[in-house]
Amino acid sequence: MARRRTYDPGDWHSVARRIDEVLHAHSGEDVFHEVVKLVIAKVHAERAGVDFTPENEANLNVLLAAAAWRWPGVLQSGETRLGPTAIQRAAEILRSVRLGDDHLEGLSALFQAIISRSARGEKGQFFTPLPIVRDIVLRVWPAAGESVCDPACGIGGFLLEALRFAPGCEVWGFDQDARVVPVARALLVMAGECGTHARQLDSLSFGSIEEGMPPGFAGFDVVLTNPPFAGDVGEGAGQGYELARGRAVERDALFLERCIGLLRAGGRFGIVVPDNKVSAQRFAFVRNWLLCHARLSAVVALDRQAFMPWTSQKACVLVGSKRAEALDMPARDEEIDLVSASGTISVRSVAELDPGWVLAPERYAARVAAAGAVISDVVDVLTEVHRPSALPQGKPALVLDTSHAYEGFVLDSHALVPVEKVGSPKQVLQPGDVLISRLRSYLRQVALVDEALFWRVPEGNLVLASAEFVVLRGRGAGRPASPTNPPVPAPALLPLLLSEPVQAALAASQEGGHHPRFRKETLAAIPVPDDIRGNAPAIAARVVQASAKVRDAFAQVQGLARALASADDRRKAPSAVPADRTRHGDQRG
């Protein structure tokens, strides 16, 4: 017998899931709209001080009528379409929670949970977790009497938090999604605000918001928003946008320009954008435009888990104010707080930003404690590849791709190949090199190229590497050492490359779509702490010793696997049969 699903009253997602299951099991109606009615009736019952115990349609409709009288405009349809069983079972679940006595936080969380993940994710729209909303509101600091706008309001999370933070501010929310706007309107009404300030419209259409504002409107004082990151905006959607002149742009870039345009001069903003808008070189034009039209005070990186379970999309928050007049070029002397997901703050002037006005906080977090030397000062940083025809012919080669390098070591069990069979240009490695994959660096594809790899056969073999690797190599005689930054053995840098700050910096600097990569220049600029430079020979020796132990253990496991395979082959082999029996059959009587 199938076990009945349970729920945790302290977990809004489990409560929403259980209500959804009950209504689907006992009703063919639109679950979302019926849940909205149930929840509004429940909040009314809480505030009226009565038990929420509807037994049938008539009982629930009485509560809904009272809620409609208490909050005019909160309900689109005033009567339920559910039957008695669905009403009773859903009410039982809702009696276990309270929704209206915590600044509507529980109610907002429940509404977020009941809107399906698939309906949100298809458009790149994801609800912003309350801790992030609160942090953004605190950074922007709306005040009583100010107008606050969210042009992609969803169910109104930013607007409700602005009202909690600054009672007396005037909030306006707009969204194209017909499903979420009524919820936002209901939440604003129950919070004591004007529900008509939540409207369904296309915010990206110029004039759509402005034409509905009171006479004399010159822009909002504050914009707080997490606009959709993806989705088809349609042909001609960028018409009239500066960022779309002569190029196709993504929805979030259009929203960024639209948000700045909705502000009055000096108006403040807190806007969530995908990480590629602050890091990728192909969006340098977006950052140029932003720095010319806004005074950016902070860029705050969000953890990659911030929007789970909806998505693992990495994002940042832009905080700043609109300039009275746009500049021709970014002001190089202005400072920006770059706040990493771990809280490390790098204060950078625009003049100190990496080429392309890179604003990714993790890109700079690892440099905060820099002692002067960077990786390219102490080792060679190589990406040179050679065509197979230019390699020594007639010698076998061990070819390494990124799957062979992990957590500091090369683990290879594949066969050597003749150089003539190598299909694409490769890097030629030397003992003591350190590899780091440019591709998906957060998988920790870092490894020492140890001496044993070059002696897979008695006469020795080449070791070649994929072009996806960056190779760190100790300085040779052709590269004189710097008096202030003497060279270090490349193995001494392996623990640094695997450290969380460096991994975070490299992950944050990745560019590209399906297979993002970090740039060689980013790796070369990672600082090398004094304690590594001062103890480099000892660190390198320990790394080499560890690699030898891992290599020995790996060889033992491979030997055991071969022995077991050989024994299995012997068991499966046919037994020897005398020749006369195979030719003449068994002669015994």
User: Which is more confident, 3 or 504?
Assistant: 504
What pLDDT sits at residue 120? 47
d(CA 27, CA 115): 18
d(CA 315, CA 302): 6
Highest averaged pLDDT of the listed ranges 6-10, 98-102, 493-497, 499-503: 493-497
Cα 212 to Cα 204: distance, rounded to the nearest angstrom: 14
Highest-pLDDT range among 319-323, 554-558, 573-577: 319-323
Instruction: Please write the tens of the pLDDT for every residue from 259-296.
Output: 999 999 999 999 999 988 998 888 999 999 999 999 99
**417 phi/psi in degrees, rounded to 5:** -130, 150
- Sorting pLDDT into bands at 50, 70 and 90, what band is 28? confident
- Please give the mean pLDDT across all residues of the chain: 85
**Cα–Cα dist 119/32, whole Å:** 12
Rg (Cα) of the chain, in Å, rounded? 32
Report, as an integer, the average pLDDT of 162-180: 92
Instruction: Report the percentage of the chain scoring pLDDT > 70.
Output: 87
Q: Quick check: 312 pLDDT over 80?
A: no
What pLDDT score was predicted for residue 280? 87
pLDDT at 20: 84
pLDDT score of 441: 62
| Residue 366 pLDDT grade (very low, low, confident, very high; cuts 50, 70, 90) | low
pLDDT of residue 586: 44
pLDDT category of residue 128 using cuts at 50, 70 and 90:
confident
State pTM to two decimals: 0.73
Q: What mean pLDDT is predicted for residues 13-23?
A: 84
pLDDT > 70? residue 47 = yes
Q: What is the dihedral of CA 492, 495, 498, 500, to 10 degrees?
A: -130
Instruction: Check residues 107 and 178 and name the one with the higher pLDDT.
Output: 178
**pLDDT single digits (tens) 473-531:** 998 644 555 555 678 899 999 999 999 888 887 877 777 666 788 888 888 888 888 88
Q: Which domains, and CATH codes, for the chain? A: 12-110 (no CATH), 121-365 (3.40.50.150), 376-536 (3.90.220)
Assign 464 a pLDDT band (cuts: 50, 70, 90).
very high
Summarize the chain as % helix, strand, coil (round to 5): 40, 15, 40
pLDDT at 519: 82
pLDDT tens track for 398-442: 999 988 999 999 988 789 999 988 989 999 999 999 999 988 766
- State the pLDDT at residue 5: 58
pLDDT surpasses 90 at 257: yes
Nearest Cα neighbor of 20 from 34, 8, 10, 9 is 34
Distances (CA, A) of 580 to 497, 573, 584, 586, 588: 69, 20, 6, 8, 12
Q: Going by C-beta distance under 8 Å and a sequence separation of 6 or more, which residues neighbour residue 333?
A: 349, 350, 351
Calculate what percentage of the chain has a pLDDT beyond 90: 49
Least confident of 106-120, 139-153, 160-174: 106-120
Mean pLDDT of 141-151: 97
How confident is the model at residue 507, as a pLDDT? 79
Q: Check residue 136 and give its pLDDT.
A: 96
| Confidence class for position 218, pLDDT limits 50, 70, 90 | very high
